[in-house]
Every structure is written in structure tokens, then in C-alpha cells.
Amino acid sequence: MKNFLLYMVAFVFLVSCSSDDTSTNPNEVETEEIEEIVENPETEETLEQPSSILDYNTIDNWAFHPEQNINLLQLYNLDIGIVNKDLELDGSIEITNNAKTDTGVDVFFVHPTILDNPPASPEVISLADQPTERINYTIIAQGGLLAKYGRVFAPKYRQCTGYTYLDDTVNKELQASVIMQSYSDIKAAFLNYFENYNNGNKIILAGHSQGAYLLSMLVRDLFDQNENLQSKLVTAALAGMGHVYAKEGEFVGGQFENISLCQQIEECGCIQAWRSYEEGQTYSDTKNTLPMFNEELVKYGVINRTVDISNDWFIMDENYLTENQEYVRYIALSSNVNEDHGYNFVAHDNLYLSRMRRDSNTEIGLNITYSPATSDQRINDLAIEEQSLLFDFWGYHTKDYATYLWPLLEQIDAKLANCN
């Protein structure tokens, strides 16, 4: 049963598409600005980071990129239809699609683990062996609406199998070396974007599950001690990772040395993290196999320090929601809820109650209650998650963006309106 569960984790643990691998090294940058960004402070013991084998000057190595000739996201209508309990259209929300427009804000999105029949071992999967269509569809479902803010850069990358993160028989050195291969792709893609396309723009980082873990490493490696990059960061939305940590009562000095969890809605240059569970569900997803327990990743410079379970606390985005339940707008692809009103996205109001529930220093999560009116005809999009063999382990994990996308959008709106 244990092996079967880990196999399922590897199948669902989300991220990127298929294309050609090359042997060029995109990390060999020449500008002083980038050299300053990638410089890491010396520690007592360090390990040299591997270089990516992917060339991100090749557009085919991006799932979505503004310069692609054919880009499904750029053609997607992002308007949201508001559907009431009688399955009638109550109105709509107009969302301008800026996926190809330079607005002064860019989105760098890293998708979760999406693999078909992955091996039951810690390794990375080549782009050619990844399901391109499902990856693209997932990026649109999770991060497509972020295109309202500006151009979307979503790299393909060599995903780690779920076993890499969750198999307790894997030694830390091997785990770190495999994760660093995936990370090398994300870092190379970001540096390619920053060197060639950023032009001083603000940056929204967003990802899910494995994608969020890799982005957290990018934040530590490149942003945490670089004031230039920090000044450009609107937010780093790390969905489904769940474990941002610091010393109890503090918000920095743990996973990141200088970058804090957002403590105000309008604050920029900070971290937002959340993970979704059924109301009252036991939190059982803290495993000592996760990257936050691996000292080798500290040596690679992608984690500030490992977690101290006795003295740290896990922290999540508690600015928008408190411990009190309230209805939160749920955003889904219309195809996922079998509603055809002429909109790709639909909003369901007064259907799900949400709150942040903390049981202990290391137990916190976004809790969701399906709470329809007696005559509500709308499909419960979360019901299918409760059928999963992994539900007791990770709750509504695969719906982390659907449950919190509207709060995320409202907070990013406030950040862009109020921070410089």
C-alpha cells in the first residue's frame, strides 16, 4: 500500500511540458547585474549547484512565453461568468488578457508535478516524457487568470518524481542532487527571462506543489539577499507547499533569511503560502522527507536553514482569512463543473466556507466546508478529491488554486495599488 500511495503522489504532484533538451548552458551570463544576483554568500560548507542542460533561448522549452507564435493562453478568454445556485448567469467579471502585453508587471509561473506512469524512484523526467497537453491545461486552470497583470513566462522543466520528495528510504544526498537538477532548470529559465525580458518590470512569482517548492528555492537563492530583485517582487505565491517556517512568533530567519511572509494585504516583496484541507481534517502531511529537513539543500544555497520542529512554527497567508468561517468565491474552469454559459472560467459564490485553522505550531491549513443552500444545483468540484486514496494525506491539495484564487487576485490588486 505504501508503494502504491507514493506512486499516486508521483502521478499528481504537478509541473511542465514536452520539448527538446539541449546541451547549451544558459547559466553562463555575462552582465554584471546577473552576476551580482547569482552570487551566494560563503558558508562553512557549500556545494556547487549543477547547471541546467536546457537552453531557454529555445522557445520550445517554455510552456508559455510571450514570443511563441502559437500560445493557447494568449488566445484564452479570461472573463469569468458568475453562476448562481439555480445554474443561471448572475453576471460576469471582465478580465483583460495581458499574457503578451508588457504592462510593467510580469508573471513567472511554475506548474506542479504532472507525470504519466512515473518510475518509483527518485529521478528527473525528461521533457520528452512529460504530458504536454495536461501541463498546459493545468497552468491555465491555476495561473491563467494571473495574465490580467501582464506577460506570463511558464517554463518547462525536468520534473522530479513524487518519490524524490516523499520516499523515506531515499538518502538526503541523493534527494538533494535530484531536486537540484529540477531547480537548475527553473533558475536557468528565470535568469533567461530576467536578462532578456524583464527590463525593470515588477515580478509576480507563482507556482503549485513541486513548482512552489522550486520557486521557494529560487527566492532564497536569488532574491533573499539581493535588494534589486526584492524591490521588483510583488509577491511569491507558493500554493500547496504548506510549510513556510520561522522561529515561533517570527516571520523571517527560517526558510528565508530576509524575505518575510506577507503580514499585510497590500505589502509587496513577501511570501504568500496556503494549502487546502477539508474542515476539521487531521493535518498529516509533514514528513521528514520534505526539502525543509534536508541539510544538503542548505549547502546548495537554496534553503536558509532546515526546520527546527521544537522551536519553529509553520506560517501561512492569514491576512485575508481568519479562524472564523466565511464564504469565499470559488473559481473553476467551466469544463470542470459542467457549466456552459459561454465562459471559460466560472465563479461560485455562497457555496464554500473557508477559514485558516491552526491546531499547533506545526499544524495549520486553509479549511474548506461545502455549504450549499438546500436547492443549490451547482456541482461540488471538491467531491472528487475526497475519493482519492491520497485525500487523508493532502486534502484538497490539487484544488489549492481554485479554493484561494479569488483571495489571491484581490490581494495582488491591493499590492500593485499600494506598494512602490
Q: Which range is least confidently modeled, 56-65, 164-173, 307-316, 355-364?
A: 164-173
Name the region of 25 (left: φ>0; alpha: ψ -120 to 50; beta: rest).
Answer: beta
Name the region of 17 (left: φ>0; alpha: ψ -120 to 50; beta: rest).
Answer: beta
More confident residue, 369 or 241: 369
3-state secondary structure (DSSP) of residue 306: coil
- pTM for the full predicted model: 0.90
Helices 132-143 and 400-418, axial angle in degrees (round to 10): 50
More confident residue, 407 or 28: 407
Determine whether 417 is exposed, middle or buried from the number of CB atoms within 10 Å of its CB (0-12, 13-18, 19+).
Answer: exposed
Report the DSSP pairing between strands 151-155 and 124-125.
Answer: unpaired
- What confidence tens digit (pLDDT) does each residue in 60-114 have? 999 999 999 989 999 999 999 999 999 999 999 999 999 999 999 999 999 999 9
What letter would DSSP give residue 52? P
- What confidence tens digit (pLDDT) does each residue in 248-290 have? 999 999 999 999 999 999 999 999 999 999 999 999 878 888 9
pLDDT recorded at residue 420:
63
Assess contact for 145 and 95: CB atoms under 8 A. Answer: yes
pLDDT higher than 70, residue 2: no
The length of the chain in residues reads 420
Distance CA 368, CA 380 (A): 12
Residue burial 14-38, b: 16+ Cβ < 10 Å; e: rest: bbbbbbebbeeebbebeeeebeebe
